[in-house]
């Protein structure tokens, strides 16, 4: 239900309100948050607060939650703000973590 509210708010450009709902989800439903929810929240943080805050959120995530989907959201942040060096470094980390095979290339 809350994910639907977030999608609707985003479709109307209400990113700050969508982020507030996402934060509520994290606080109230601590164990029901998926990596998809984390990826969406990362994107919302980018839109509301910028790259630096998005990186801080990503860095606060446990390693077990840093999946391909969440890394993809981080790469989207870097691509959106033309942070090529950070994007390349993140792709390298993904390769070293075996989240990317040699056959898959995002560059």
Write the CA distances from 69 to 17, 33, 58, 73, integer angstroms.
Answer: 23, 14, 12, 6
pLDDT for res 31: 60
Using 50, 70 and 90 to split pLDDT, how confident is the model at 103? Answer: very low
pLDDT tens for each residue of 58-94: 999 998 889 999 999 999 999 988 999 999 999 999 9
Architecture in CATH for domain 2-96: Alpha Horseshoe (1.25)
Mean pLDDT of 48-55: 95
How many CA atoms lie less than 13 Å away from 46 in the CB half-sphere? 19
Q: What is the maximum alpha-carbon separation in the chain? A: 40
pLDDT for res 48: 96
Tell me the domain boundaries of the chain. 2-96
pLDDT for res 97: 86
**pTM, to two decimals:** 0.83
């Amino acid at each position: 239900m809350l994910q639907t509210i977030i999608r609707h708010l985003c479709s109307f450009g209400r990113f700050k309100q969508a982020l507030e709902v996402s934060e509520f989800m994290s606080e109230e439903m601590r164990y029901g948050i998926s990596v998809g929810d984390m990826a969406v929240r990362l994107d919302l943080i980018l839109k509301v607060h910028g790259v630096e805050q998005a990186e801080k959120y990503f860095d606060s995530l446990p390693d077990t939650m840093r999946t391909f989907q969440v890394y993809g959201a981080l790469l989207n942040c870097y691509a959106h703000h033309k942070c090529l060096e950070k994007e390349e470094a993140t792709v390298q980390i993904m390769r070293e973590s075996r989240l990317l095979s040699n056959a898959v290339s995002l560059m």
